[in-house]
Amino acid sequence: MNAPDWKNRLGKYWSNNSYNDFVLSHEKFRQAYKNYKVTIKHLVVTGRDGIMWARVSAVHSGKTDSDIARGMEATGKPVEWEEAWYFEVINGKQGNKWDLLKDELSIMRHLDIKCIPQD
């Protein structure tokens, strides 16, 4: 996830076509959060279930449509948050099912967001 060529490197760890969807959405997200770095704090895989707890740091560099700062102009502020990922494991690779929880309150604090944006 931290390598400059992350899109190419991660593909070998995914077992299906959902990788393309992940790359498209994550690529947009990383444009809004430059210097993206993820640090895995804990990773557990049991059978077909995987859970990862990670700390993410980045610089808010543009608009995004996928988190609490959606539509917000770039601030240039550093941000940090924690994420928990659930993912399915098939033959040692990430499967079709995956989801994440992101600590958006931390993002709000770093970016000085006082209220949740209205759609």
Mean pLDDT computed over every residue of the chain: 87
For 60: left if phi > 0, alpha if psi spans -120 to 50, otherwise beta; the answer is beta
Tell me the residue range of the domain where 18 lies. 6-111
The CATH number covering residue 53 comes to: 3.10.450.50
Q: How many other CB atoms sit within 10 Å of the CB of residue 41?
A: 12
Q: Is residue 117 part of a domain?
A: no
Q: Is 28:62 a contact under the CB 8 Å cutoff?
A: no
- pTM for this entry: 0.82
Q: Give the per-residue pLDDT at 18.
A: 75
Q: Is residue 118 part of a domain?
A: no
Q: Is residue 119 part of a domain?
A: no
The number of folded domains in the chain is 1
Q: Which residue did the predictor score with more confidence, 82 or 68?
A: 82
Q: Is residue 30 part of a domain?
A: yes
Q: Is 7:21 a contact under the CB 8 Å cutoff?
A: no
| pLDDT tens-digit readout, 31-55 | 889 999 999 999 999 999 999 999 9
Q: Is residue 43 part of a domain?
A: yes
Q: Is residue 116 part of a domain?
A: no
